[in-house]
Structure 1
């Protein structure tokens, strides 16, 4: 099988898969391949935090032209996956000098499937782009055509808990990936000081408590497959829920906008995480550290012109606030404005290249010691 992900999260996703006991895990470009049975496919969709989709390849073949493609697609036993009364959709990606139009590949493949059903039954399945019974993925790499079934359906970042959002909300998969890259494991207190609609705090709580990432999702594509096994899925879900763990620290989401606080509260309630997350109104630049021990901070500050901020002043305030008010804190934040980091006034101990959508970004870490850094190292 293949798990798709975002740039920079391949190793994180591979670790997730190994922790779930996937076999033969191999990294690729924005994807990780692995082996597992039907039950593991269910578990991967339910539990993986950094996967966008889980694809189940069914066959592949080398092709040279559109006739080869048509004949190859027609040769597949589609009645094993699709009833004539069902609907289907095809998504194609092409990286080839032989083919250059993904939409044409999708159209030609659709024709092959429809013609096969019409020839064998006198009827044909219908196309449904938004909510099909079967979603088919066709990937052409040079002359190798791989046909897969999309077991997820809509992107797995649609967790199901977020019904209220603000301007430029962070993608749930991106949020989870940033948290895992930062080393968040739920072993200390956590703060998102610019929480928006609460996504980072919610993902942090789910990681801390080992709650399956997509527990609140309404449905997966595999629930419409001809071999859908509800009993198996419910058994796997029960096993995963039995592996949740207690959390004995605080998770706080803070935002100065009352509208953001209201939305975050709604989303936290949707995720059934009221016992683990506190949402409060407050201005980060006027705040101080509220806990005595180590604090883990991950946030997504504004860096877009639409949000009408003075970038240089704003990022200078971030640095000043961290330096003056947050000793004993590992602070991480993502920015798509690479120049903005120069205004923080602190030297990041790490910078990791990631993408927020199509925007190249950096996840930067600032280690704020209690006392001077020299004192910190002398104590060791």
Structure 2
């Protein structure tokens, strides 16, 4: 029996329905099929499918086009489905995997895509797969390669959780492996060997004492971070190890390129073997674009920086100014007690609806 979604439901009810369709990265087909079926009956939308990415767009001949996107996948479930409603300190929440990251945002987008038959700008809605895993699998990146024409736009909004407040740009991200080498020996005669694990002690000391910068970029202050996220070494309990690796993650402000970030790491860890595992450019705020300014005025509040890396960087790389805007506290993303305040879902819907329904620009 095919899973169905009713887009006439409230955005809160739709969030719950979406979350209860388990869609851990790699298992998005069921939810993508449900999204495509739900949108099929709306004549004002052209529906396009690319793998488990679903696109719906208007072609009203408006002077400007906005891209609004959200991902359909989640991190693995950990006894946090099915969803449930709960009240904490008088605040009503929807609890469960995906409520924050980011099916509440997707629910808002789907409801508005169905109901706004004549938005003030043409809109390309994109719901994509494989955001939570390796970059080469990312559905938004795949769509950009397969259908670059779908990325023609003047402004983009990504529904990442921001407490329903605008967050501009995003930090860049670099991961490296730093290796120290020694000489194997029997642990009973350790003095004839060189312990590679001991040799990484200066690396850990440097990381523990590192003071991350706070960098202002176009009026927003981005907080950087440099941390060990893994360590491995040793082959047996009675062997002095000849190799040890520290896995390091660097989150850098969008005023720097990933190449500059790597150069900084090479300076910090000079004398060690360094392997770059992954790197992704950040995105500048983009809040000086006319549509961004109009959106900020419509939504209200003060724009904040996005500390984590998000797919706004893909839009930025294409020359499209982009912001993050979606319900949910980012601190609850991926948490076992992931939950979204119901008021934030409706606030996000109201903000987007108000802006997209304004007089034609």
Q: TM-score range by the shorter chain?
A: under 0.3
TM-score after normalising by structure 1 = 0.24
TM-score after normalising by structure 2 = 0.24
